[in-house]
A and B are shown apart, each in its own frame.
Chain A
Amino acid sequence: MGITPSQPVAIPSASGAAAAESFPDALLQALWQEADAESYGLARTDFEAVLLAIGTRQNNGQPAAITPTQEQQAAFLRSLRLSDLALARGCALGNEHAWERFLALYRQPLTRAAIAITGSDTLGRELADAIYAELYGLNLRDGQRRSPLDSYQGRGSLLGWLRTTLAQRHVDHHRKTWREEQLPEATGDSTVNDPPAATPEKAPQPEELALLASAIQHCLVKQSAEDRFLLAAYYLDQRTLAQIARTLNVHEATISRRLRRAVEDLRKDLLRDLQQRGLSKRAAQEALGADPRDLTGVGDLDLQFKKLLQFSQSGAFPEKAGS
């Protein structure tokens, strides 16, 4: 899987989205005062431009095919973290008061988050210092000072955005340099360090493997995005039920049930798909026991199929240590 630099993803907007070129004066005035944008050096017109850009980019929170109404537009704008947004834009503009406020609010949390992400006090402080310089706009692009704070749009908290940015920088740095490290762990590909599989009683034929890989890809695509995320997070990333539950804002028991159901459904779909492709039921079941490392053509879906499929009929997913 190719590593690409982090770039903002533009959600395609409908042609008629955000047709309004300006906001009602009363709404804009209320939002401007609520954000306290004036104290950060943002004039009302500047703030209006920022809101317009965000609304246009996000289609005011509506799917691309829908043209938002004025009420939806107002509701979307009111749902934004306006004070955080004004602060971020003020910092991006280099406003001194905004930076004082930013440092007062986020200096300690940012350092703690960096230490938590890197797992090291030294590396964490280095990461935090680097992100400060980046946020301040020391990196020039086309001769202009550019701050990542410009990309903050106020949908989440500014602190959450800062944490995610820190994690992005750390992961990108790690992925660039991990090959230089001597430790064999943290390869990013969990199949590399797996012990060699036992010699199968009957080596699968290449045709069977190709058939199986195609069936797996077909069945996985039919799974919902959330189920595929659950499978990947649990089996590939070895995340705990608690971690996944926190990410999806549900109870970990719910995650366990969803995982069990997803694996059972996947296994049934695979057996059915393989039989539809001409395999007998027994041959399809034997094919499910194939070594996943023999599978080709699956692309990025590097699931541990063997583990996934062979243990699909077990009970509820046990909580892993550390959760």
Chain B
Amino acid sequence: MNTNPQLDRYQLDLHPDAESLSAFAEHQLPEHERQLILAHLATCARCRQILFLAQDSIEDEKPATAGGVLLFPAKEPTTKWRYAWGALAAGVALATISIFLYPRHQAIAPEQAKVVPPNHIPTLPVAAPPREGKMQPSQAERLQSSASAASGVRPAPKPEASLGTVTSGVVSANPTAQPAPTQQQAAAASSTTLNITLKPAQSSQTVEVQAAAPPLSQSETATVNVAADQAQLQPATPPVTETMNAQVVQPTDQIKLKGRNVQPLTAAKAAPKAAVAKGGTGNGIGGGVRGGAVGGPVSANGALARSPASFAKMAPRPLTVTPEDEAAARNTLGKTLPSGLPAIATAAASHHLLAVDAAGSVFLSEDAGAVWEPVSAQWTGKAVLVLPPQTAPDQSGGLAIAGRATTDAPSQAAAPRSALFEIVTDQGIHWTSSDGRVWRAK
């Protein structure tokens, strides 16, 4: 009956052994023997079952390969998707880099600060951080390189870092980007030393700024409490006290920031004269060095984030109340606002006129009430009162030091209602703004 001679030769009553079946499954048999096994498998349910069981057990461990042989050749879609994954990974990496770079510029945006008057200095009003230490060398290098980049000069030779202390380089700022120094500043010193201690803690960050002006002994120390937003701190940064000594050498036509190892704040001596402007205003270093902003904003990791010139452009100018502003505020009071309601409170400064209507809406005008624009309510409740910025006489002696945080939220009790607009809501909460548009809770 069987016409196939190979089948005649093959003993159908017997089964191929495990050796033959496994070699068949791994495609290692020569063709003639493979045909014999196939002929047997076609008629033997047992061997088929063994074969498929053994095959399935391979799939559990190596779904795509068996015996080193790629069972399914690479398909085009698979290859294309591989590239797609690569592109996706590149996108994720780019986003990650952006995330890490972004907070370096915005790290102290929401911080609140207090500038202590010079005569009240050397106290540490914030809770001690869990661990104190010097700034890490890498941070110091970043500070140095950032500052150098900001000033547009070549970085100083790499400092020697010992035991994690900070050694900063010399930073020269382009005088063209700085406002002209005031008379007090010019008279005070041609060289100013800044001792800055960064103490990031869990809930607050202390920036102690000592401004000294040797050889004229213009030394000043200011304590800035920075309520650091922990979300914007570098997550890997340990809660250490970072001490940085930055010396600002300010010749007549050039300002230099020089850093070296310094002692903590307790060793710093307060200068008899204040070189720090009280209630410094403006973001970044705007108003920091009065008439000549020096250095960039110090981020949480101690790096100077922006150049003085860029911050000088970005920082809003201090609000001043001129007689014209006062007249505009008086004239607007009681007048009808775009909401159809009368203004119940007005305030003006630096050609910014704010008005609150009876419904609690706030309007802003920059042309003495000719054109109004509504201010979006960033507070809860209704605004019932708007207060003009309260300016203080300039006592900085030509040097006002303020970080960005000092200008954003001078909300501590010791700070007066500084040069910011204020809104009081019906819930009694004060909101401040430097431009009348963006408001922060006080």
Contact = CB atoms under 8 A, between A and B. Distances in A.
Interface string A103-115: 0000001001110
Nearest to B17: A8
B43 A156 contact: no
Interface in B68-126: 69, 71-73
Among A4, A156, A172, A221, the most chain B Cβ lie within 10 Å of the Cβ of A156
Q: Is the interface of A mostly helix, strand, loop or mixed?
A: helix
Interface residues of B, number: 56
B30 interface: yes
Contacts of A210: none
Contacts of A8: 17, 19
A254 to B, nearest CB: 11
Interface stretch (B32-40, B149-157, B231-239, B271-279): B32-40
Interface string A129-164: 000000000000000000010011101110011011
Interface in A150-191: 151-153, 155-157, 160-161, 163-168, 170-172, 175, 188
Contacts of B9: 12, 64
Contacts of B38: 225-226, 228-229
B416 interface: no
B42 A232 contact: yes
Given A4-B13, A9-B15, A251-B72, A166 B57 contact: yes
Nearest to A299: B43
Size category, A interface: 35 or more
B21 interface: yes
B187 interface: no
A149 B186 CA distance: 97
A161 B19 CA distance: 6
Nearest to B4: A221
A151 B19 contact: yes
A89 B135 CA distance: 66
B161 interface: no
Contacts of B26: 156-157, 160
A11 interface: yes
Nearest to B33: A11
B43 A160 contact: no
Interface in A60-84: 61-64, 79
B57 A246 contact: no
Contacts of A62: 30
Contact of B67 (A156, A165, A170, A301): A156
Nearest to B46: A171
Contacts of A172: 46
Interface in B231-273: none
Given A1-B45, A228-B39, A247 B19 contact: no
